[in-house]
Amino acid sequence: MNDADSIPGAPRARLVVVISGRGRNLAALIAAIREGRIAADLVAVISNRADAPGLAIAAAAGVPTTVIPHVDFPDRAAFDAALASCLRACRPDIVALAGFMRILTEGFVREFEGRMLNVHPSLLPRHKGLNTHAAVLRAGDAEHGATVHFVSPQLDGGPAVIQGRFIVPAHDDVQQLAERVMDTVERKIYPQAVAWMARGELQLEQGVAVFRGRPLREPLTLDDLEEGFR
Ligand code: GAR
């Protein structure tokens, strides 16, 4: 379904994207909304860093931005409370963490559980946390990729929705791998997952990702991408 197929007058999903950095995933989401592939309105972009280049991408697209610098808060709970209050005011149906480099408290996650997705640069459950590309090279992994998952209180541990993988080229360094993950996987799978969620085709039910009425036993793959997302 795209804009042309949507029911006239039907409310569109309200999307908020939370970033810390360059905003390439944000740019992919904005492009997909513009092209009518995601039936959602991007109502706000929030960053925990004032110098995140992604803020300029949002501003150029006319999306309101808010900066909540984590360094202004005494602890994690205080920052998360401020972020939660900002998000609440946006009334989001979908919260997309896109290169958001903060560990979230359980209370925060519980409030937005089922509405919050993350994209992580590895084939989860392999290589949770930071520096995933270096970890892949160190381990000599044959394959690498990225995963979109529902956010749960376990770091990078929530139910996976879709995963894209490729064979690790023999001579890639960390930087090349990072670019490859972004270009060949993340910029495709994240807009697709958000599009499914905006259409009501993807939910979290009792801790299980459900796609078109069926529990996902395995994450979807690049082969499941719809035409416009390939
Ligand atoms: C992406 O590769 C994303 O998966 C990763 O940071 C990059 C952000 O790029 N996120 C994480 O590592 C989260 N733990 P972007 O800001 O250009 O979208």
Quick: pLDDT tens for 192-230. 999 999 999 999 999 999 999 999 999 999 999 999 999
Q: Which residues pair with 96 in a beta bridge?
A: 17, 117
- Choosing from 119, 180, 183 the residue with most ligand 1 atoms within 8 A of its CB, the one to mutate for a pocket test is 119
Beta strands in the chain (DSSP E): 13-19, 40-47, 65-67, 94-97, 116-120, 143-150, 160-167, 202-205, 208-211, 214-215
The predicted structure's pLDDT at residue 4: 44
Number of domains observed in the structure of the chain: 1
Residue of minimum CA distance from atom 10 in ligand 1: 99
Q: Tabulate helix, strand, coil % of the chain (nearest 5).
A: 35, 25, 40
Tell me whether residue 120 is one of the annotated catalytic residues.
Answer: yes
Structure tokens at 215: 């529990």
Q: How far is CA 122 from the centre of its chain?
A: 13
- The tokens 């946390």 sit on which residue? 129
108: closest CA among 75, 153, 72, 73? 153
98: closest CA among 162, 170, 151? 151
- What sign results for the dihedral spanned by CA atoms 149, 151, 157, 158? negative
Q: How far is the CA of 198 from the centre of ligand 1 (A)?
A: 22
Q: Which residues pair with 44 in a beta bridge?
A: 16
What domain range includes position 139? 3-229
Nearest atom (ligand 1) to Cα of 27: 18
The predicted structure's pLDDT at residue 10: 74
Tell me the CA distances in angstroms from 159 to 18, 65, 74, 97, 217, one per residue in order.
Answer: 19, 29, 31, 15, 9
Structure tokens at 95: 């919260």
Full-model pTM? 0.96
Nearest atom (ligand 1) to Cα of 26: 18
20: CATH? 3.40.50.170
Ranges of residues in the chain with a pLDDT under 70 are 1-9
Q: Does the Cβ of 22 fall within 6 Å of ligand 1?
A: yes
Tell me the CA distances in angstroms from 23 to 86, 137, 198, one per residue in order.
Answer: 20, 25, 20
Whether the Cβ atoms of residue 145 and residue 132 lie closer than 8 Å to each other: no
Nearest atom (ligand 1) to Cα of 118: 13
Q: What is the largest CA-CA distance in the chain?
A: 52
CB-based burial label for 188 (10 Å; 0-12, 13-18, 19+) = buried
The predicted structure's pLDDT at residue 2: 46
Q: Does the Cβ of 164 fall within 6 Å of ligand 1?
A: no
